[in-house]
Amino acid sequence: MNDAAQSSAAYTGPPTNVRPPAGWKVPEVVRVAPPRELPEQDPAAINEAETRATTLTYGMGILFGSLMLVVLIVVLARAVT
């Protein structure tokens, strides 16, 4: 349609609603089983594992930081001479 035909056409309103067939109903949702219970947690063991992991992480950080410092010193010493 061109603009002239659109402007002269009258608004006919929204489309008509089509009713659902007789006996129609919303589909049922399949019920699922309730979630299973989680196992009990041991807070003392969790804290101990976190402490060990933190110690290992800091230890590795110190080790690799020291190694990088030694490598940097060697590289700078070779660049100076």
Write the pLDDT tens digit of every residue in 10-22: 888 888 888 888 8
pTM greater than 0.75 (yes/no): no
Cα 32 to Cα 21: distance, rounded to the nearest angstrom? 29
Write the pLDDT tens digit of every residue in 28-40: 888 999 999 999 9
Q: What per-residue confidence (pLDDT) applies to 67?
A: 98
Residue 77 pLDDT more than 90? yes
Cα 24 to Cα 22: distance, rounded to the nearest angstrom? 6
Residue 60 pLDDT more than 90? yes
pLDDT band at 23 (very low <50, low <70, confident <90, very high): confident
